[in-house]
Structure 1
């Protein structure tokens, strides 16, 4: 060993010989345990066998013709299978909105009505023009029970609460 370091003397001079000795040991082990694999490593895998192209046609004729599949017959099966797959996946991934409680729908409509009545100034009134009266059937007032005077007073109260900008937005 040298005085200044922990490296043995002539370590780097002997290193290549040690590496080649390890490689030779591994090669001997491969030859012993896997002789076929060792033979493959010694041959050229890209070499074309002798007289390959001279005998190619005769070997090809010995194989005979394979069966040809018509895609016209198989295509309808693929289409049917893909449609079935899409239908099954959409049915599986569709959330279940059904409830057993009949009052849940009334609660939902009440929540929607409360939300819109609280946020009416933020809603573009032009978007509501496309809806029909049937769309608001659940949340609308029951007009058969009100007299015309009560309806008039209700409309007046709503109009008095609205600002001029809201009234212009409706018109």
Structure 2
């Protein structure tokens, strides 16, 4: 790779790695796996960088590569047996009222639990549409599917999340935590 291309890749990786890590976490729910996914994505992106840099859309290429890496990871047999039931790590908010901070933490946990409960393809669509703020067309391009598929997967994913959300809220209210 030429020096100029190498420098452009390094700058791209520096400026977009944190956003990719956040997206990867929203997809997989594990910071360590998210870092692995970003590293795998950057390795694949580096190999293809001379072709990618020639386009005007390296961010979309990286997003699509990240999604494919995550979906590939989901297909691995040893991942099916593993269950992650940890807490969502959040930084401390020193200026906020502790009661409000706890309430926000509880809501984030419930939201993440609902997001984690839906199938991978639906979760990818929800993350792209609502956390990455992509349009239906952009999400369809990133996933390599039709806009109709994005719309139906979004509707199904939101319905599944709502069902899980209601179940979590009901369990919390019965146990006296809400």
**Normalised-by-shorter TM-score class:** under 0.3
Greater helix percent: which structure?
2
Question: Normalising by the residue count of structure 1, what TM-score does the alignment of the two structures yield?
Answer: 0.22
Greater Rg over alpha carbons, structure: 1
Question: Normalising by the residue count of structure 2, what TM-score does the alignment of the two structures yield?
Answer: 0.21
